[in-house]
Amino acid sequence: MKKIKTYLTEPSAPWKRGSFIGGAGLFACGWTQDNKVFMLFPDYFIIADPLTGERESMIEDDDLIQRLSKDNLEFDLKEGNQKVKVFGLRGGNGNHFTTDRWSLIEIQQESQEKIFGITDYKHFGRSENEFWKNYDLIKLHELEFGQWCGFSPDEKYFGIFGSGGAEIFYRV
């Protein structure tokens, strides 16, 4: 596992690197019903376009925590008349599988740093001795560390999220 970082790369086709959406102190994230990136901070949240990274809205409110469900798995997005499924708190970990068998993985290092990978499960188990070699391990460009990952509801995007923001990837 010590040499795992030498395998960091870009995800293979049909996936491409998309936008970076910055923000310090991210502690929960998710996707809106219309596949926008949702990022929750202690006193504000943003909704951003996953392809461009453009922030479509930013709402500041010192009482945002009150809008989380008791189990911390949903955020009441009153502005959009919807409940956003969030991950990153004590529960929830994002959607790691698509209906056409793409899979995301989080590999936690001894240093507690996570490495993220993606694979097409149709071709999983390429006779690799080490499990993680079945995945394209993703090199982060903007985030120092990633903490969570997940596919969007329409499965056209996935994000790697950390306390400093999100790196978004999309299908070509």
Going from N- to C-terminal start, the domains of the chain cover 24-171
Residue 90 pLDDT exceeds 70: no
In this predicted model, what pLDDT tens digit does every residue of 4-28 receive, in sequence order?
889 999 999 999 999 999 999 998 9
pLDDT at 97: 94
In this predicted model, what pLDDT tens digit does every residue of 131-143 receive, in sequence order?
788 889 999 999 9
Alpha-carbon distance 91 to 96, whole Å?
A: 15
Considering all CA atoms of the chain, what is the largest pairwise distance in Å, rounded to the nearest integer?
52
Global confidence as pTM = 0.92
